[in-house]
Amino acid sequence: MSQLSRWTLVGVLATVVGTIAFILQADAAVEGDGLAAFDPQLTQAFFDHRSAALSKVAQAVTFFGEIPVLTAATVIVAVLLRIVTRRWRPTAVLAAGMAGSAILTSVLKLVIGRHRPDSSFMLGAIINGFSFPSGHTLSGTCFFLLLAGLLWRSHAARGLKIGGTVIAVVLSIAMGLSRVYLGYHWATDVVAGWTMALTWLCLLATAIHLIGRRRDNGLNPRPVDRDDIRDRGGSIP
């Protein structure tokens, strides 16, 4: 099996598995069974263990997942990527990844239509929109992991790449936990946000891989097989 086929297969399988997992999570959220059956207890547990220090940390983390903040960060980083790398591809990848996450969040919330926890659990402004999946978690995870992925595509030191990836994962987890802690989402909203973020990034990575291979094949066409031409009765220059 060629390298192209292997990477494509892995990407497609990961996307399919992620999609199935998300569908199962959505079904559980709608029916109130499966993992979603534990949502009330988990929300209450987070509520019971609140403290002034933890609340400040959670509010600081969730701030970076707000739409205006994340949008501004995406634009700034996209511009910096263009300036530093002098290439459009990293900028386009970041823009496509974040645009896709925003569209997925809006569409899935409307389709599933799950309501948030009671406003008495919310630590901050009251929000009445739909909750599944968590938009902060989905978009925040996409943003952090896209930056980690672009870092791995750079010429940075290996230690920096590993450190950047660890930070991206920690921030993604912290973003999701902060939404449950602050009472704006059920735990399964957050899990679904992580699941869809990873699924979308797998699909995006697979598409980028295929586009890159097609472009490379176009620039370096397959050498002419003289034996094949002779077998077809053609002339060899």
pLDDT at 42 over 70: yes
Summarize the confidence of residues 35-52 as an average pLDDT. Answer: 91
Q: What's the pLDDT score for residue 227?
A: 47
> pLDDT tens, 136-186?
999 999 999 999 999 988 888 889 999 999 999 999 999 999 999 999 999
CB neighbours of 234 closer than 8 A, spacing ≥ 6?
none
Closest CA to 186 of 16, 11, 83, 36: 36
In the predicted structure, residue 229 carries a pLDDT above the cut 90: no
Whether 3 has a pLDDT exceeding 80, the answer reads: no
State how far the Cα of 90 lies from the Cα of 81, in Å rounded to an integer: 6
| Residues 114-121, mean pLDDT to the nearest whole number | 90
Does the model's pTM come out above 0.75?
Answer: yes
Asked whether residue 223 carries a pLDDT value surpassing 70, the answer given is: no
Separation CA 71–CA 68 (nearest Å):
5
pLDDT, position 2: 52
For 112, the token pair is: 């599933």
Measure the CA dihedral 95/101/102/105, to 10°. 180
- The rounded distance, in Å, linking the Cα atoms of 47 and 62 is 16
For residue 15, is pLDDT > 90? Answer: yes
**60 has a pLDDT exceeding 70:** yes
| 104-113: pLDDT as tens digits | 999 999 999 9
**What pLDDT, on the 0 to 100 scale, is given for residue 217?**
61
> Is 4's pLDDT higher than 60?
no
CA–CA separation, 33 vs 227, rounded Å? 64
The confidence score (pLDDT) of residue 190 equals 96
Residues in the chain: 237
The mean per-residue pLDDT over the stretch 84-95 comes to 90
DSSP secondary-structure letter at 124? S
- pLDDT-above-90 percentage for the chain: 65
Position with higher pLDDT, 123 vs 237: 123
